[in-house]
A = this chain, B = another copy of it.
Amino acid sequence: MLQPVDDAILKDLESSLHRDIPLTRSMGLQVIECNGHGLLIRAPLAPNINHAATAFGGSLAAATTLVSWGMLWLVLKQVDRDARIVIQESNISYLRPVTTDFIARCQYPSEAQVTKMLTTFERHGKGRIELQSDIYENNKPCVGFRGRFVILPN
């Protein structure tokens, strides 16, 4: 998963999200980059604000869930597999309030993780992977997300 990701593929991911998941439009989510740090999506604070004028926990949960889903979508594109992506479980730590527009980042899974997921998918029709995402502000972690996803035949 260290091949560079084409801007057209990122645009395709963003269009799919906006078309198929209307809440991503309400949240103002944008797919911005996939670089050495992982996949990055941005959300403005205004539509995601809460009563304390910081980002609403539900928006932070949705953004970290989505960026992880998006990372797995990219991985499947790169290995040219067609599969349905389903989230099974997530654990989210809210470490500090998010006070401005924010970027959710999903780290690349390791090659070993991807290989294992694809192998069990081929053999048993179901592959499992754990992904990690986060939201930082001023170099400090605000949200930590761990999610277990499965891929299933389409």
Contact = CB atoms under 8 A, between A and B. Distances in A.
Contact of A65 (B16, B52, B61): B61
Interface string A7-40: 0000000001000111100110000000000000
A83 interface: no
A94 B88 contact: yes
Interface in A81-140: 84, 86-94, 97
Interface of A: 16, 20-23, 26-27, 46-52, 56-59, 61-63, 65-66, 69, 84, 86-94, 97
A51 B94 contact: no
A49 B17 CA distance: 11
A50 B16 CA distance: 10
Given A23-B47, A47-B26, A59-B23, A89 B91 contact: yes
Contact of A49 (B22, B52, B84): B22
A93 B84 contact: no
A58 B47 contact: no
